[in-house]
Amino acid sequence: MGYKATYDRSMNERDAFWAEAASLIDWIKPWDRVLDDSTPPFYHWFSGAELNTCYNAVDRHVATRGDQPAVIHDSPVTNSKEIITYRQLQERVSRFAGALKDLGVTKGDRVIVYMPMVPEALIAMLGCARIGAIHSVVFGGFSARELATRIDDAKPKVMVAGSCGIETNRVVQYKPLLDEAINIAEHKPEHCIIYQRPQEPGTLVPGRDIGWAEAVAAAQPADCVPVAATDPLYILYTSGTTGIPKGVVRDNGGHAVALAWSMGAIYNIKPGEVWWSASDVGWVVGHSYIVYAPLLIGATTIVYEGKPVGTPDAGAFWRVIEEHGVKALFTAPTAFRAIKRDDPNAEQLKRYNLKGFRTLFLAGERCDPDTLQWAERILKVPVIDHWWQTETGWAIAANCTGIELLPVKPGSPTCAVPGYDIQVLDEEGETVKPGDIGRIMIKLPMPPGCLPTLWNNDERFVQSYLAMQPGYYLTGDAGYIDEDGYVYVMSRIDDIINVAGHRLSTGAMEGVLSSHPDVAECAVIGAADQLKGELPLGLVVLKNGVDRDPAVIRKELVDKVREDIGPVAAFKTVVIVSRLPKTRSGKTLRGTMKSIADGKEYKVPATIDDPAILDEIAAALEGIGYAKHG
Ligand code: COA
Ligand code: AMP
């Protein structure tokens, strides 16, 4: 069946379509209803059913592929490699699950995981799934304060952390960040399991902390616990439009079905093949495609602790693909922009044999046609842009290579994935004509795998995503659909920016800047950047009478964002201006400032209260290399 017929079936025979996909999963108890739509706008998939996600990802493969590598850890930053078979993974996960149980963790308890890219991160996640505990992984590039916010929202019984992470040029001590976060947070976890790394072991707090090795050595293997399909598997926090992140909830049943189905339908990966998602377990791409999806189908997943460039060079990706026989790679366009920048003629590629490599998948940010075409030219395989977000957990629009490879149109992540009814609506809620830009929405119900709600916050879920247009989910992206049904995702409609594939809230950065005693008001915009897609740029107005050295204030502001949000924000530039451009009603004109920073033509808004300020801002930005036309 081709793409169109498959898509139409997913719309017209929805329950039969997903019931069939559900045969990819082993169930303990069958469902009463495929889609439970009895309480709109909340929808639940496979209600009444029971399963265990860890069993499906690990145990069930042991009989047939026990000696096959499940996980290959490749770490150029520590110069080490490790292969873990499915049998070994089962043994390690069940023991770790036992260690969690010994600390009193049971079904429904939350466990926060703050780990670098080591196999133990996956083992911790799967160990939680095994006993029905809900994991919440926090990306290592976030600050102690961000971690504390998540501790207070998720209220974990136990934290699992690595003692350190290793970036290209430095060791990042995680343990002091963890201690500080627990210190700041109101909720106090009972215990911490610390995975000690030789590069920088952490100091354990007696009575509260226990080393990973000791915890596991003392534990008995724990069995898989049946959970309801609708029970939460994990919470993953993502930037919202306020400083408080949103706790996206993922269920067990719908998630397992959607991911297992996507591995064949979208990525065309078969059991036993080697798959590599070069992301981080702290992001949704890592959850879905480093951990769960490849293991659910019995493939081999690569866990890569390194960067596309600098570890040691721009040939790093080609080395991993050749060495481990990778069939398909999934990463963000920014990784390819980094490789292109360092090795524009792909000289490094000549050193490696990529014979078995079939497809490159890109997502996480808009994929510029230049990067896509460069990758196609050097790799000579299909390069597939696809679009999704933390909330959906898997692709909304993609070229489903396992169903039918559609012609690639650079700039478009292709068409709606089966199960998603994507529509572009105008401000009145009417569907726009093909080619016209509007808000990209998904008509409810969304397919299995998408968020059922936000953690402990049904109201925010409805307000954030469902209230703007009843019956539709608001993606927060703007764009259009062409005559052939190809989707084009152009920009966000909120204050979220995308920095190297990482989603960040400019509102949260503004909150940090305004808390500086010298700052009267501020705005943060996402300015175009050739490598990272966008970079945050701060514009601040100082309070009257402040006469301290502006360079010192700028440095304090940069340091403060790094301290309060984390290095991942990549906030490095602040400009001090005499005032911000505003409308007469007092709304800051962020869009106009962004156009100026990006060197784009812009119209002076009719409602602006003081047009002269735009010239001052343009001059200030030109002085630091922005606002260049073309
Ligand atoms: N723990 C601690 N710090 C971290 C971290 C982690 N897990 N991950 C990143 N950081 C730090 C980096 O060291 C850097 O700090 P610096 O300001 O001191 O240099 C900062 O956070 C920004 O990191 P990053 O965005 O990774 O930028 P980079 O300059 O180190 O590398 C790229 C740029 C393009 C090579 C890199 O972003 C990349 O590999 N991207 C791949 C895409 C990807 O993983 N996307 C995720 C979603 S699919
Ligand atoms: P995250 O939740 O971190 O995965 O970020 C999701 C957001 O990243 C989306 O809402 C888009 O704004 C952007 N995004 C992800 N993939 C793409 C893509 N292929 N094309 C355009 N934007 C994308």
Pocket probe for ligand 1: among 288, 568, 572, 573, the residue whose CB has the most ligand atoms within 8 Å is 568
Q: Does ligand 1 lie within 6 Å of residue 332's CB atom?
A: yes
- Select from 392, 406, 160 the least CA-distant residue to 265: 406
Closest Cα to atom 22 of ligand 1: 568
User: What's residue 585's pLDDT?
Assistant: 86
Instruction: Tell how far the Cα of 568 is from the centroid of ligand 1, in angstroms.
Output: 6
Q: Please report the domains of the chain, with CATH numbers, ordered by start residue.
A: 3-306+386-466 (3.40.50.12780), 496-622 (3.30.300.30)
For residues 92 and 121, give the distance between their C-alpha atoms in angstroms, rounded to a whole number. 12
Instruction: Tell how far the Cα of 221 is from the centroid of ligand 1, in angstroms.
Output: 36
pLDDT digits (tens, 9 = 90+) for 383-440: 999 999 999 999 999 999 999 999 999 999 999 999 999 999 999 999 999 999 999 9
Pocket probe for ligand 2: among 387, 486, 488, the residue whose CB has the most ligand atoms within 8 Å is 387
Return the ligand 2 atom nearest residue 284 CA.
Answer: 4
The answer to whether the CB of 28 falls within 8 A of the CB of 52 is yes
Distance of CA 56 to the CA centre of its chain: 23
User: What's residue 240's pLDDT?
Assistant: 77
- Where b means 16+ CB within 10 Å and e means fewer, 584-619 reads eeeebbbebbbbbbbbeebeebeebeeeebbeebbe
Closest Cα to atom 10 of ligand 2: 389
For residues 624 and 606, give the distance between their C-alpha atoms in angstroms, rounded to a whole number. 28
Instruction: Tell how far the Cα of 370 is from the centroid of ligand 1, in angstroms.
Output: 22
Closest Cα to atom 9 of ligand 2: 389
Instruction: Tell how far the Cα of 333 is from the centroid of ligand 1, in angstroms.
Output: 13
Q: Does ligand 1 lie within 6 Å of residue 177's CB atom?
A: no
Ligand of minimum distance to the alpha carbon of 362? 2
Percent of the chain with pLDDT strictly greater than 90: 94
- Select from 501, 491, 497, 492 the least CA-distant residue to 331: 501
Q: Does ligand 1 lie within 6 Å of residue 19's CB atom?
A: no
Instruction: Tell how far the Cα of 363 is from the centroid of ligand 2, in angstroms.
Output: 7
If one compares 472 and 608, the residue with the highest pLDDT of the two is: 472
Residue 312 neighbours by CB under 8 Å, 6+ apart: 76
For residues 531 and 554, give the distance between their C-alpha atoms in angstroms, rounded to a whole number. 23
How many other CB atoms are there within 10 angstroms of residue 343's CB atom? 17
Q: Does ligand 1 lie within 6 Å of residue 279's CB atom?
A: yes
Percent helix, strand, coil in the chain (nearest 5)?
Answer: 35, 25, 40
The answer to whether residue 603 scores a pLDDT higher than 90 is no
User: What's residue 123's pLDDT?
Assistant: 99
Q: Does ligand 1 lie within 6 Å of residue 195's CB atom?
A: no
Q: Does ligand 1 lie within 6 Å of residue 285's CB atom?
A: yes
232-249: average pLDDT: 90
Instruction: Tell how far the Cα of 491 is from the centroid of ligand 2, in angstroms.
Output: 9
Instruction: Tell how far the Cα of 20 is from the centroid of ligand 2, in angstroms.
Output: 29
- Select from 466, 411, 409 the least CA-distant residue to 441: 466
Ligand of minimum distance to the alpha carbon of 388? 2
For residues 72 and 321, give the distance between their C-alpha atoms in angstroms, rounded to a whole number. 12
- Alpha carbon dihedral 319, 323, 328, 332, in 10-degree steps, equals -30
If one compares 374 and 628, the residue with the highest pLDDT of the two is: 374
Return the ligand 1 atom nearest residue 334 CA.
Answer: 34
Q: Does ligand 1 lie within 6 Å of residue 294's CB atom?
A: no
The answer to whether residue 629 scores a pLDDT higher than 80 is no
Instruction: Tell how far the Cα of 549 is from the centroid of ligand 1, in angstroms.
Output: 31
Q: Does ligand 1 lie within 6 Å of residue 115's CB atom?
A: no
Q: Does ligand 1 lie within 6 Å of residue 334's CB atom?
A: yes
Taken in order 571, 76, 307, 331, is the CA torsion positive or negative? negative
Return the ligand 1 atom nearest residue 168 CA.
Answer: 13
511-539: average pLDDT: 96
Closest Cα to atom 11 of ligand 2: 365
How many other CB atoms are there within 10 angstroms of residue 371's CB atom? 22
Helix, strand or coil, per DSSP, at residue 571: coil
Closest Cα to atom 1 of ligand 2: 389
Instruction: Tell how far the Cα of 129 is from the centroid of ligand 1, in angstroms.
Output: 28
Pocket probe for ligand 2: among 372, 389, 497, the residue whose CB has the most ligand atoms within 8 Å is 389
User: What's residue 459's pLDDT?
Assistant: 97
Mean pLDDT of the chain: 96
Distance of CA 414 to the CA centre of its chain: 20
**3-class SS letters over 381-414:** CCEEECECCCCCCCCCEECCCCCCCCCCCCCCCC
Q: Does ligand 1 lie within 6 Å of residue 140's CB atom?
A: yes
Ligand of minimum distance to the alpha carbon of 289? 1
Q: How many Cα atoms are found within 13 Å in the side-chain-facing hemisphere of 209?
A: 19
Q: Does ligand 1 lie within 6 Å of residue 331's CB atom?
A: yes
User: What's residue 630's pLDDT?
Assistant: 46
